[in-house]
Amino acid sequence: MRAMILAAGRGERMRPLTDTTPKPLLEVRGRPLIEYHLEGLRGSGIREIVINLSWLGDKIRGALGDGSKWGLAIHYCDEGPEPFETAGGIFNALPFLGAEPFMVVNGDVYTDYPFSRLSLAAGDTGHLVLVPNPPQHPRGDFGLASGRVTRPGGKTYTFSGVALYRPEFFAGCTPGRFPLLPLLQRAIDAGSLTGELHPGVWSDVGTPERLALLQSGKIA
């Protein structure tokens, strides 16, 4: 299995920190955020990783190199000055992700979720890790019923940015810039999107204030 780390975003809400440092390289307790993902993915058995780049992408490439420091092989997909959004970035990287299901992790989250737990049943095209709604996102994103992700309409949870997809999840897409939500809704309506709730550590590190709380040992 291969994995993709999403690292192309500008990180507007993290400015001015992200004016000179790409968000995945912001440090938490002395180490860049993205390093926690590299080690977690390696620990789950992953050896090949794709990272998409845009804003300050050369700094990410320079910091991580070919991945050999972590026992990994890293391939970079440079999207140029305008990132392709989440789904567009993943679709652009499909040639490097293979024909089997692959993991996707947002490069700007911090979590103790064990990546080795991700699995996908035959016939399903995607699996999302959901978390309890944080204070900054009280409405959540999706429901969860009997292991299936549902559209919001009752108790909701927040998408953690950790997922497993089959290449078929992106069937019918064309190259370019496009969001992930319509594809998730399509899979929900088709009954092919499963999910689980992770009650452990998770933060989206979306603002300097939340980064400071994470640095102090308080998750936000």
Structural domains counted in the chain: 1
Residues, the chain: 220
Q: Compute the distance between CA of residue 8 and CA of residue 50 in angstroms, rounded to an integer.
A: 12
Q: Is there a domain that residue 151 lies in?
A: yes
Q: Is there a domain that residue 220 lies in?
A: no
Q: Compute the distance between CA of residue 218 and CA of residue 39 in angstroms, rounded to an integer.
A: 22
Q: Is there a domain that residue 29 lies in?
A: yes
> Where in the sequence is the domain holding 88, given as residue range(s)?
3-215
Residue 219 pLDDT:
63
Q: Is there a domain that residue 25 lies in?
A: yes
Q: Is there a domain that residue 109 lies in?
A: yes
Q: Is there a domain that residue 95 lies in?
A: yes
Binned at pLDDT 50, 70 and 90, residue 135 comes out as: confident
- What percent of the chain is predicted at pLDDT more than 70? 98
Mean residue pLDDT of the chain comes to 92
Q: For residue 13, what is the domain's CATH number?
A: 3.90.550.10
Answer whether residue 209 shows pLDDT above 90: no
Q: Is the pTM of this model over 0.75?
A: yes
Answer whether residue 220 shows pLDDT above 70: no
- Specify the pairing of strand 73-78 against strand 48-53: parallel
Give tens-digit pLDDT for 83-124.
Answer: 999 999 999 999 999 999 999 999 989 999 999 999 999 999
Answer whether residue 74 shows pLDDT above 90: yes
